[in-house]
A and B are shown apart, each in its own frame.
Chain A
């Protein structure tokens, strides 16, 4: 257990529905990252926060995706109007400044 928790661990949804995932980082970590991992691939960077500020977003993050970290602690990732191509593992990581990134166990999303 790295100290980063994600909820839920698994989510099955129908195409077109909205889903929201939560990440709780290690408490003193000021940076929080979201990655997406599809089967047989490495994680792909989506976005990251320093405190409550979202500093970078990948081209992978379409308009249907939005991430927030309102108080600089936990973060949420919302996907609107889910598509089958959104099926993946969504990983959250946190770090203290530019230190080691600690990954959570991920949320596995299946869109049917």
Chain B
């Protein structure tokens, strides 16, 4: 079945530095790749997404890249701030109905 691998599972970066989270997916038919941020006691919240006809997308300090050939996609957060501390999930979907999530990356922003 469809599978999404995510790493690292934990990431600590100094405030102001960049953070990178990488994911791979197994189903070549996947065409929608959302990223979610989950804070304690809350449900996941979409922060950015990318579709398979686009290689890169940027929204302020957040950027995502997609390599369809290698089935890799990644999240880049620049100029990290304390409020970026959370668990981040990558995900993949063929039709944006059933979303397959990675296991998550716990991001710690160190003061």
Which residues of A line the B interface, CB within 8 A?
2, 4, 31, 33, 40-45, 48, 55-56, 58, 91, 93, 95, 98-106
Q: Is the CB of B103 within 8 A of A101?
A: no
Q: Is the CB of A101 within 8 A of B101?
A: no
Binary per-residue interface labels of chain B (75-111) against chain A in the complex, 1 for a CB within 8 Å, 0 otherwise: 0000000000000010100011111111110000000
Q: Is the CB of B43 within 8 A of A2?
A: yes
| Chain B residues with CB below 8 A from A43, complex form | 44, 89, 99, 101
Task: Check A105/B43 contact, CB under 8 A, given A31-B97, A48-B97, A48-B98.
Answer: yes
| Chain B residues with CB below 8 A from A31, complex form | 97
User: Quick check: is B29 within 8 A (CB to CB) of the other chain?
Assistant: no
Q: Is the CB of A91 within 8 A of B44?
A: yes
- Taking a contact as CB atoms closer than 8 A, the residue among B44, B95, B102 that contacts A103 in the complex is B44
Complex: chain B residue closest to A6, CB-CB: B43
Task: Check A106/B43 contact, CB under 8 A, given A42-B91, A98-B95.
Answer: yes
Within 8 A of A (CB), among B26-66: 34, 36, 41-46, 49
Complex: chain A residue closest to B9, CB-CB: A40
Residue in B44, B45, B46, B104 whose Cβ sees the most chain A Cβ within 10 Å: B44
- Taking a contact as CB atoms closer than 8 A, the residue among A40, A45, A104, A105 that contacts B99 in the complex is A45
Give bound CA distance, A2 to B91, whole Å: 19
Give bound CA distance, A106 to B40, whole Å: 11
Task: Check A42/B46 contact, CB under 8 A, given A48-B98, A56-B97, A56-B98.
Answer: no
Give bound CA distance, A56 to B93, whole Å: 14
| Chain B residues with CB below 8 A from A40, complex form | 103-104
Give bound CA distance, A6 to B111, whole Å: 35
| Chain B residues with CB below 8 A from A95, complex form | 96
Complex: chain A residue closest to B36, CB-CB: A103
| Chain A residues with CB below 8 A from B102, complex form | 42
19 contacts between A and B (CB under 8 A): A40-B104, A41-B103, A42-B89, A42-B101, A42-B104, A43-B44, A55-B97, A58-B98, A91-B43, A91-B44, A95-B96, A99-B96, A100-B49, A103-B36, A104-B43, A105-B41, A105-B42, A105-B43, A106-B43
